[in-house]
Amino acid sequence: MTYVSQEESRPSRRTALTGLTGLVGWGGAALAAGCTPANRAPSAQGPSPAPTASATRSPAGTTPGAMTLFQDPAFNFNGLWALGGAGFGGSEVGEVLTAVNTINKAGLSSQTYVETFKKLGDRLMGAPQGSRPDRQTRRFRALRAAQYYAQALFFVLGSDAPAGEEQLYKSGRGAWDTFCELSDPAPVTSDVPYGQTPLPVWFFRPDDSGRQRPTVILTNGSDGQNVDMWAYGVSAAVERDWNALVYDGPGQGQLLFVNRVVFTPRWETVVTPLVDWLVARSDVDPDRIALTGLSMAGNLAPRAAAFEKRIAALVAMPGCLEPWLGFPPEIRKILAPGKAETNDIWNKEVVPGLSAADAATMKKRFEPFSVPAMLAAREGKVFTDFYTPAKRIESLTLTSVVDRITMPTLVLDYEYEQFYPGQPRRMFDRLTSPKDYVRLTAATGAQLHCSPMAPQQHCDVVFDWLQEKLAGR
C-alpha cells in the first residue's frame, strides 16, 4: 500500500452506451458497485481477461494478482468478493471454487449463478452430513450461508425468477440473524427511530461486561449485505476490543427489500439517531465513536460526518464525491433538464435497444433509488421513469459540504479502482480537516474496489489508523 500523510501529500463494490440507442457489453461489470468498466478506468488500462472454464487457474493478461473465475467482470468481481470473506469465516474457499466451476460448466448466466449459490446457502442452513452440528458449526455455516444468499441476491433480477428477490433477501437475513443469535455474546438488536420506518441495528461487543469502549459505526454501500460488514469491520473491531454497530439504512437491506425505503441524500439524518442510540449506552465511550463507509458509503459516511460532529474519526472506503460519475457519460447525457424529455429519450431511444443482460444491469443499479423501478424489475420489466432516480443519485454529490468535515479523516483508494477512479484523491484534496490517504495496491493482492481479495489487510489499515487517532481521546 501507499500511505500519504496530510503534510506529505501533493496532487500527483463496467463498456458504455453507444450513442443513446443501446448498450454494448456494458451489462457485466456495471453491476458490482458502479458503472465504469474496469478496462476503461484511466488507472487500470490492460488487456481483457482471457476466457477460463476453471477456478483453479489464472490466465495471463488478467488484472495483476487477480484470479479470473468468470469471463464476465461483474461475476468475477463478486466471485472474488466471496472468496475474500473466507479469512473471516464468511465463506469457504472450496465451497466458492466448487460453485464457480459448477456455474462455468453449466454456462455462466444470472440464472446459473443464482441457482448455484442459493442451493449452497440452502444446504448450509440444513444439517451437515454425518454429524450433529454443535453451536459453533451452526453459527459459521449460517454466516457462510448469508454470504452465498447475498451472492444470489445480487443477480436475481437478471434471472428467470426476479419476483423472488424479497424472499431471497429474507433467506439471507435469516441466515445472518441465526449467526448473530448463536454468537457469544449475541449482538444487541434494536430498532432505532428514523422517520416512519425504524433502522434495524446489531450492536456487537467483545463481551457483556458493560465496560466502556470505543465504537465504530459500519456503513454499507448501495448493494452490500450485513454479512459484508462482518468481514469489513465487525470481526476486526471485536478482536481489537472495540464495539461495532451494523445497521440497515434507507436503500439498504430490510429498508429497501421489505419496507421499500430508498436512499436519501441527507445521510446525517440516518447517522444522527444511531449516535443518539449509542451515547445513551453505558458501554460506549461517547468521545470515541468512529464512522466508516464502504463502497458507495464512501459518499454517505462523509456526508453524515459533515453535519454530525459527535463522530470522532471518519474513514471513506473509497472516498466518493459524486456517485453519479460512476455511470458512463452516455448514460448521464440522458438526464435532460425536464422529466418528460428525459423519460421520452429513455423509453423511446434507450430501452428498446437494451439486451436482457443490459436491462438487468439498469434494474439492479437503479432499484435502491426508486421503488417503482424495483417493483417493475421484480415483474421482469424495465422502469419507465429514469429521471427521478437519476436526479436522486445526482443529488448525492458532496462537493459543497466536504469542507464542513472537521474530524480526522482517512481516505482509502485502490489500485485498479474500477468504479470511482480518481474520486478518492479528489475528496482527499478537498478536505480541510486533519487527513490521511492510503492506496491499497496489487503488490499485496489488495487491488480493485474495496480490496475484495484482502479484507484482512483492509481492516488492518483502517483499525491501525483509528486506534492511533483516537488513542489520546
Question: What digits encode the pLDDT tens for the residues 36-45?
Answer: 333 333 232 2
Question: What digits encode the pLDDT tens for the residues 387-424?
Answer: 999 999 999 999 999 999 999 999 999 999 999 999 99
Confidence of residue 128 (pLDDT cuts 50, 70, 90): confident
Task: Give me the mean pLDDT over the 61-87 stretch.
Answer: 88
Per the CB < 8 A criterion, the answer to whether 437 and 424 are in contact is yes
Confidence of residue 130 (pLDDT cuts 50, 70, 90): confident
Look at 13-17, 223-227, 235-239, 426-430 and tell me which has the smallest mean pLDDT.
Answer: 13-17
What backbone phi and psi angles, to 5 degrees, belong to 381? Answer: -115, 155
Is the confidence at residue 179, as pLDDT, over 50? yes
Q: Between 3 and 337, name the one with better pLDDT.
A: 337
Task: Give me the mean pLDDT over the 118-146 stretch.
Answer: 94
Look at 124-128, 218-222, 387-391 and tell me which has the smallest mean pLDDT.
Answer: 124-128
Is the confidence at residue 11, as pLDDT, over 50? no
Q: Report the mean per-residue pLDDT for the chain.
A: 88
Is the confidence at residue 57, as pLDDT, over 80? no
Q: Which residues of 39-55 are buried (b: 16+ CB within 10 A; e: fewer)?
A: bebeebeeeebeebeeb
Question: What digits encode the pLDDT tens for the residues 337-353?
Answer: 999 999 999 999 999 99
Query: Exposed (0-12), middle (13-18) or buried (19+): which is 6, by Cβ within 10 Å?
Result: middle
Q: What is the pLDDT of residue 79?
A: 97
Is the confidence at residue 60, as pLDDT, over 70? no
Question: What digits encode the pLDDT tens for the residues 84-117?
Answer: 999 999 999 999 999 999 999 999 999 999 999 9
